[in-house]
Amino acid sequence: MSDREIIRLFIEGRVQGVGYRAFLVREALALDLTGWARNRRDGAVESVVSGPRPALAALIAAARRGPRLARVDALREEPADEAALVAFCGAGFSVAPDA
């Protein structure tokens, strides 16, 4: 059984136009996670991430903090599947087209 999980994050607040997606990419790559992040029309950032639970927990903690100019008001986590993960990424972690 794999210890790999796939989750979807929705981050709300001042998270667009402040380098939030680039911050998330750096944090995810440093934790050896795969996935993607994108801006949503509603002003949130959405991300699908895959990896071991301890690394996912570390990314969630970083996502709650965000980069210096961001303000995170809410972060919601839900399970995701392989189809959501591969929708925008191959290997590594990338910025996906805006939704």
Active site residues: 21, 39
Q: Coil, strand, or helix at residue 88?
A: coil
